Structure 1
Amino acid sequence: MTASTTRRSTAAHTRLAAVGAIAVAGALLLTGCGDQTKNDGSGNGSTAASAPLADKLPQAIRDAGVIKVGSDIAYAPVEFKDSSGKTVGIDPDLADAMGKQLGVKFDFENGTFDTLITGLRSKRYDIAMSAMTDTKDRQEGIDSDTGKKVGEGVDFVDYFTAGVSIYTPKGKDQGIKTWADLCGKKLVVQRGTVSEDLAKAESKKCAGGKTIALQSFDNDQQAQTRLRAGGADAGSSDFPVAAYAVKTSGGGNDFQIVGEQVEAAPYGIAVAKSNTQLRDAIQAALDAIIKNGEYGKIIQKWGVDAGAVTSAAVNGGK
C-alpha cells in the first residue's frame, strides 16, 4: 500500500461506503437583460443568483468552469459506471449539488485509487473524491506502511462517515465473524484500502504460525470476482460497498456480510494543502447543501442515512 493512500484509511482507520446515483445536470441557465453569466463547464451558464458561492473559488477554476476530480470509478455504490457508461453514485450526486452552489461542473476522471493523491500533488486533479478516508497519515503525507514522510499531505473536507465489513460467499462463512477468524484464511481486498491495512495488521497477530493469505486487487470489483469464483474465503470493503455487493451480486445470492463493521471514520474530499481557497470553497458548498436539504435527499436516496454528517469539517480524521 502506498503512502497514506488506503481507500479509505490506515490500519487504524476505515473506508466505508455508500450507494450509487446518476449525476445530475449542471447549473441552471438563467437569462435576462443585464445578467452576467459564467461558464459552468457544461455548455450552460449560471448567474450569481444560481451559484451563490462562485466568488469563493480560485479565479482560474471560475474561468475554466470545471473542477477536475480524481476518482476510482469502480466502487459501487459510491462511484461507478452504470449500464450506459455514465459515472454515477453518491459522490457524483453530491458533487453535482455542490457544483450548483459554486457555478462549476465537477468533472470525474477515472484513476486507480492508490494513485489519486499522487495525481493531486502533480496537479492532474484539483480534488480527489473517492470514498477516501480522512486520516492523520494522509493529512501529513505519511506512508502508513513505513511510517516515513513521502509528501506534504493533503487537506480533507469531510462529507460522510463509514466503517469496514467482512463478507463471505453466501452460506459459506466458515465460522468467520471477526478479523481474528481470518487467520489461516484467504482474503480478497482492494489495494490501498483500510481493509488491506487491517488485514496486514491482523495477520501479524495470528497465532500458531498462521497468517491471513491476502490477495489485493486494483479495484473492488476484481476482488469480488475472485471471491465469487471460489478463489478466496472472504472479502472486505467499506460497509456500504459490501452491503451493495451483497444486495446486487447474483441477485443477492452470491455474498453475505458477517460480523459487525469496524473502525468508523470520515470520508473526505482531498485538496492540496497549498490550495486553501479551493478547500474553503468546497467546505462552504458542502455546508450549503447540508443546510438547504439537498445533501439529506441524496443520502436518503441511497439509503445511507447512518453515515450522514451535519456539518463540513476540515481534517476531522484521526
Structure 2
Amino acid sequence: MRDLLVIGGGPAGLASALYAARTGLEVTVWDKRAGIIDKACGEGLMPGAITALADVGVNPDGRDLTGIRYLAGRRAVEAPFHSGLGRGVRRTTLHTALRSAAECTGISLEHRIAEDVRPDSDGVTVDGQRFRYVVAADGLHSTVRRGLGLAGRPVPRRRYGLRRHYLLEPWTSYVEVHWAESVEAYVTPVTGDVVGLALLTSARGAFDDHLARFASLRERLQGATPLGDVLGAGPLRQRARSRVAGRVLLVGDAGGYVDALTGEGVAMAVSQARAAIAAIVGEDPMRYERDWHAITRRYRLLTASLLGATRFNPVRRALVPTAERLPGVFSAAVNSLARPS
C-alpha cells in the first residue's frame, strides 16, 4: 500500500505533494490533463500567496504588485500592501514552476483520471489501487467531492469568470478592480508587456459585451492586441458538507469556494495543503476539517460579506465613493486579506 495519492495537479494538488514529499511520504499525483494547463483566473498573487509559495520552494516569475485600486467611473481609491509585494503571474508560469518543483523532488506525476474512489477504515482504494490516504484537489467541480456525497446545496445566484490577455505595457503596479452594475473587471499586470483582464459576473453575455460597460478601461485597451482565446470558469460558488471522508481529504477549490472577488485562491490552497499533510502525518484526518475552518475563516467572512452586499446595485454604486471617504477602512480590509495566513 502506497502512502498518498493526490488527485489533481493544480496549485492545491502540487503544493500538497510537495509538503508530503518533505515529510518523507511516498506520493503520486494523478491529473486528468497532461502538461501545463491554462485556466481562467485573475493571476494576481497577494503577498500572502507569495509567502505561501516560498514555503514550498516556488518563486514564479512575474510583475511586482504594490496594492489594490478600486475604480468606478471617475472615482478611485487605492490601498498599498503593508506586508510586502504581490506579484502578477500568468497561470501557465505558476503551473510550470510548481510542476518543476515537484519533478525536482522526485514526485511521480501521471496523466490519469481517478474514476472510483472508495475510502475504508484502513485506506482508500482508487481504481483498484490501494493508498493510505488520498488528497482530492480536483478543482471547483470536483468529481471526488460529488462521488463521496460531500457536495453541498447549489446556490441560486451563480457567478462566472472570463479572462483574456492583452499585449500592452502595464500602466500601473496596482491590481485595478473596476466596478459596474452586475460585473467587475480585474486588471493585473503579469509581465512587462502583457496585462491580464478578468471579468466576474452573474449576468449572461460575451466578454466584449461586459467590457463595454467600462468606458475608461476600453480606452486603455484601445489598440492593444488580444492574446489567445477568452477562457471561462464557473459557477464559482461551491459548497462542501465536509472536507473529510474517512482517509480522503478535499484541498483547495474542491473543498468549497466562495468567490474570486478577493483574489486569495492560491494562498488558501497552499495553506490548506500544509494543514492536510500535517493531519495525514499525525494520523488525524479530522484535524484537517478543524484547521480548514480556521484557515479560511477570514477569507470566507470578508468575501461573503462583500459579495452579499454588492448584489444590490445601490450598494455597488456606493462602494467606491464610500471607500474613498474611508480610506483607512478600505486599506484595513485589503491588507487583512493580503497578509500571510
Q: TM-score, structure 2 length as denominator?
A: 0.27
Bigger helix share? 2
The structure with the largest strand share of the pair is 2
